[in-house]
Chain A
Amino acid sequence: MKRKTYKKQKDNVEFPILTDGSGLMQNPVPPDDQTPSWSERKSRSTGLAQLTYEYFERARLEDQDIRSRADYLEREVLGFPMWPHEVVRGFAITSFFIGIILLLSAVAPPHIAAPANPSQTPAVILPDWYLYWSFGLLKLEPLNPALSILGGDKIMLDRTFGVLANLVVVGFLAALPFVNKGKARRPVEEPFWAAFGVAGVVFAFTVSVLSVKNLVPLNSHLLFDLTFILPVLFGIVFYSLLKTMREGYMYELNRRYYRLRPPKPYRPPKPPK
Chain B
Amino acid sequence: MADEFMKGFGIFSIAGLAWMILSGWFTTPGFETTQLIAPVPENLDFYGQFSIVLREIMFWFAVVGALTFWVLIPAINEIKAKSNEK
Residues of B within 8 A of A110 (CB): 31
Q: With both chains docked as a complex, state the minimum distance between the C-beta of B14 and any C-beta of chain A, in angstroms.
A: 11
Q: Whose C-beta in chain B lies nearest to the C-beta of A103?
A: B17
Contact with A along B1-35 (1 / 0, CB 8 A): 01100000000010001001100110010111000
B20: A residues at CB distance < 8 A: 104, 108
Q: Which of A49, A104, A111, A113 contacts B21 (CB 8 A)?
A: A104
CB-CB under 8 A for A100 and B17, given A107-B24, A108-B24 = yes
Task: Collect the chain A residues with CB atoms within 8 Å of residue B13's CB.
Answer: 96, 100
A45 to chain B, nearest CB (A): 15
The answer, yes or no, to whether A124 is at the interface (CB within 8 Å) is: no
Contacts of A108 in B (CB 8 A): 20-21, 24-25, 28
Q: Is the CB of B2 within 8 A of A52?
A: yes
Docked CA distance A257–B45 (Å): 62
Contact mask A149-185 → B, CB, 8 Å, 1/0? 0000000000000000000000000000000000000
| Contact-residue size bin, chain B (C-beta under 8 Å from the other chain) | 10 to 19
Instruction: Give Cα distance in the complex from A104 to B3, angstroms.
Output: 27
CA A81 to CA B32, docked complex, whole Å:
47
Looking at chain A's contact residues, is the secondary structure mostly helix, strand, loop, or mixed? helix
Q: Give how many A residues have a beta carbon under 8 Å from the other chain's beta carbons.
A: 12
In the complex, how many angstroms separate the beta carbon of A189 from the nearest chain B beta carbon?
24
Min CB distance A44 to B, Å, is 12
Please state if B2 and A113 are interface contacts (CB–CB under 8 Å). no
Enumerate B10-65 residues with CB–CB distance to A below 8 Å: 13, 17, 20-21, 24-25, 28, 30-32
The answer to whether B3 and A113 touch across the interface, beta carbons within 8 angstroms, is no
Question: Which residue of chain A has its CB nearest to the CB of B21?
Answer: A107
B76 CB to closest chain A CB (Å) equals 18
Task: A100 to B31: give the CA distance in the assembly, Å.
Answer: 19
Cα(A108)–Cα(B28), bound, Å: 10
Contacting pair B30 A111 (CB below 8 A): yes
Q: What CA separation (Å) do A48 and B17 show in the bound complex?
A: 26
Determine the residue in chain B with the shortest Cβ distance to A112: B31
What's the minimum C-beta distance from B17 to chain A, rounded to whole angstroms?
Answer: 7
Nearest chain B CB to A102's CB is how many angstroms away?
12
Cβ-closest chain A residue relative to B2: A52
Contacts of B17 in A (CB 8 A): 100, 103-104
Listed in ascending order, the chain A residues whose CB lies under 8 Å from chain B are: 48-49, 52, 96, 100, 103-104, 107-108, 110-111, 113
Q: List 27 A-B contacts (CB under 8 A).
A: A48-B2, A48-B3, A49-B3, A52-B2, A96-B13, A100-B13, A100-B17, A103-B17, A103-B21, A104-B17, A104-B20, A104-B21, A104-B24, A107-B21, A107-B24, A107-B25, A108-B20, A108-B21, A108-B24, A108-B25, A108-B28, A110-B31, A111-B30, A111-B31, A111-B32, A113-B31, A113-B32
* A-B CB proximity, top 8 nearest: A108-B24, A111-B31, A107-B21, A48-B3, A108-B21, A110-B31, A111-B30, A103-B17
9 new A-B contacts at CB < 8 Å, known A108-B25, A111-B32: A96-B13, A103-B17, A103-B21, A104-B24, A107-B21, A107-B24, A108-B24, A110-B31, A111-B31
